[in-house]
A and B are shown apart, each in its own frame.
Chain A
Amino acid sequence: MPDNQILVESVAAWVLTANEHFKIALDESSMEEYIRDPQIYSIPDAVDYCNQVILWRNNFTPVIDLSLILGDEALDAQHLAIVAYQEYAEQKPKYLAIKLVSEVQSVTVQDDTACDWPENYPLEMQPVVESLFMNEDELISVINVADLCNEGYRDYLAQLAELRRNALSAK
């Protein structure tokens, strides 16, 4: 290989539109299925951003709305991505349904598209994002699904919301 040639690694991924302003990426193997208009069941007193489940392959699968986490309008459940995650190696996979604005998109991510955190990156998402890259001039966040389904993250969001309420009331 000539000295001046740079080896760029690439990997296949799925890009999911979680919100009009926010796209996430998952590695190809963690995406199980894309489904449309499933039967949704409400869990009325669960956390606001995850208070619904679907019955998927005979399992109750939590449905998460990242748009609500980002402080925007709730999405309907027209488009859902079922993703698998593990909290530790050897664990039997667990599943999560993520509400989407549109269908999923397959992309190839190259190392040289990685980018730094923008200054205005939402605080709500920072604990669950592993890296960022650009795709067709859009910022895509690579998320860790296990972190998204963690009690610590739920508590972090509650604390963040309280801080924001306090800051508003102090004004």
Chain B
Amino acid sequence: MNFLTGTVSLIQLDNLYLAISVADTLMIGQSSEVAVSQDGGNSIGSFEYAGANLPTYYLNDQLIPSQDSLLLKQSQFCIGLRTNEEADYFVLLCKKFEQIDLAEQTHSMQELPAFMRNEKMLVEGMLEYQNLVYLVTSPDKILDYIASDDLDQKQEKNNA
């Protein structure tokens, strides 16, 4: 299995943990630098980086985006991510952030079995490292997921 190798970024949302290749990680900033804006999309605000305002997202533990600006205070950091397909940049709010080299660390990693997958699936696999389980994903998957038509249904279900 080779969907994630080398150095990876480990990102803690609230009580959910993501693992993303470090090659797709752009920068790390403070959540206090995020400007709140309601642009009608799913973003909670924007983060200025290299002269551009990058859309910034807060994902809860069900991976549902929220635009509640109070959530900014619960997140300490924000991490810039870059998609490979469109070279889009965006920012994800997080509580903790760490980078590890998989070659140097004891870990277990496994792809998500096909029968567990939905059509638009954010999670590609699972990574266990120091007794925590991280969901393996990529910026392309996250952005696809945020823009997914299914998201409205998920948000309704989450609100219910």
Give the B-binding residues of A (Cβ under 8 A): 41-47, 50-51, 53, 55, 58-60, 62, 94, 149-151, 153-154
Contacts and interface: CB of A to CB of B under 8 A. Distances in A.
Nearest to B121: A45
B118 A43 contact: no
Most chain B C-beta atoms within 10 Å of own C-beta, residue among A41, A151, A153, A154: A41
Given A43-B123, A45-B121, A60-B108, A50 B133 contact: no
8 contacts: A42-B16, A43-B116, A43-B135, A45-B118, A45-B120, A46-B118, A94-B113, A149-B115
Contacts of A58: 108
Contacts of B126: 41, 43, 53, 60
Contacts of A44: 16, 61-63, 122-123, 135
Given A45-B145, A46-B116, A46-B117, A55 B123 contact: no
A136 to B, nearest CB: 32
A46 B120 CA distance: 9
A60 B114 CA distance: 14
Given A50-B115, A55-B133, 14 more contacts: A44-B16, A44-B63, A44-B123, A45-B118, A45-B123, A46-B118, A46-B123, A47-B118, A51-B116, A60-B108, A60-B110, A60-B128, A149-B115, A153-B115
B108 A47 contact: no
Contact of B63 (A45, A50, A150): A45
B60 to A, nearest CB: 9
A149 B122 contact: no
Q: Interface size class for chain B?
A: 20 to 34
Main secondary structure of the interface of A (DSSP, over half): mixed
Contacts of B118: 45-47
Given A58-B108, A62-B113, A45 B128 contact: no
A153 B63 CA distance: 25
B42 to A, nearest CB: 15
A168 B114 CA distance: 30
B108 A151 contact: no
Nearest to B127: A60
A58 B126 CA distance: 12
A149 B117 contact: no
3 closest A-B pairs (Cβ-Cβ)?
A: A41-B133, A46-B116, A60-B110
Contacts of A53: 126, 133
B115 A45 contact: no
Contacts of A51: 116
Contact of A154 (B61, B110, B115, B145): B115
A53 B118 CA distance: 16
A62 B114 CA distance: 11
B112 A46 contact: yes
Contacts of B113: 62, 94, 149
